[in-house]
Structure 1
Amino acid sequence: MIPLIGLLIGIILGIVLEPSLPAFLQPYLPIAIVAAMDAMFGGLRAFLEGVFTDRVFIISFASNVLIAALIVWLGDQIGVGAQLSTGVIVVLGIRIFTNVAAIRRALFHA
């Protein structure tokens, strides 16, 4: 229940405060969102398999976002940012779909 209350408070604060993202960070936002989604679905999968630990989830969440952003930033520095962004999205997308498939099997035994 507490996570849902936190999510609601976050949504309300976002609507009321209307935060803006500096232009130099905007290319990294989609990558950070996909990396966060990967950690979220991985955490849900671990929960359903009975091996979830909050410490591992927090470390996974933060490291996924930071490493994905670092890869894209490095790509920007050497002039191949779009290609590395696509690579990060593809890899994390595969992981997300793998986790979702495992979640579906756990929930529906299919």
Structure 2
Amino acid sequence: MIFALIGILIGVIIGFFLPITYATSYSLYISVAILACMDSVFGGIRATLDDVFDARIFISGFFGNAILAAFLAYIGDKLAVPLYYAAIFAFGVRLFQNFAIIRRHIFSRD
């Protein structure tokens, strides 16, 4: 767990000090990919609390979900159909479910 916190800290520091920008036309793809990555992170925390965490599953889900969500948004953009709503709905529901389960794990430890 300490490595995860160190990784988050390094990511925040890099984000503050490196001037990384992107075109606003990519904001839809990036926001959907970030939502997918957050879903994976919350799923990883949940798996850790359930003692079933597997790094290979986490890494493949992290990148796979992000790529799939961005690809879905891209295809929807090319077809002029808002397919990114499906990714927002799916990952949003899973994110809140995982958060609720994490919360129950934390408060039931008494």
Bigger Cα displacement from structure 2, 36-45 vs 86-95: 86-95
Aligned partner of 1:6 in structure 2 is 7
Q: Following the alignment from structure 1 to structure 2, what is the Cα–Cα distance between the partners of residues 4 and 21?
A: 26
Other structure's SS at 1:18 match: coil
Residue-by-residue CA offset, 1:36-75 (whole Å, 9 max, x unaligned): 0100000000000000011110001011101111111110
- Aligned pairs for 1:61-100 within 5 A: 61-80=62-81, 83-100=82-99
Residue type at the aligned position of 2:37:
A
Q: Following the alignment from structure 1 to structure 2, what is the Cα–Cα distance between the partners of residues 4 and 17?
A: 20
Q: Considering fraction of residues, name the structure with more helix.
A: 1
Bigger Cα displacement from structure 2, 13-22 vs 54-63: 13-22
Identity %: 41
Contiguous gaps of at least 5 residues in structure 2: none
Other structure's SS at 1:15 match: helix
Q: Following the alignment from structure 2 to structure 1, what is the Cα–Cα distance between the partners of residues 103 and 84?
A: 28
Normalised to the residue count of structure 2, the TM-score between the two structures is 0.88
Normalised to the residue count of structure 1, the TM-score between the two structures is 0.88
Q: Following the alignment from structure 1 to structure 2, what is the Cα–Cα distance between the partners of residues 72 and 56?
A: 23
Cα displacement (A) at 1:24: 4.0
Q: Following the alignment from structure 1 to structure 2, what is the Cα–Cα distance between the partners of residues 53 and 35?
A: 18
Aligned partner of 1:19 in structure 2 is 20
Residue type at the aligned position of 2:18:
L
Q: Does 1:47 align with 2:41?
A: no
Aligned residues: 108
Cα displacement (A) at 1:79: 0.7
Other structure's SS at 2:53 match: coil
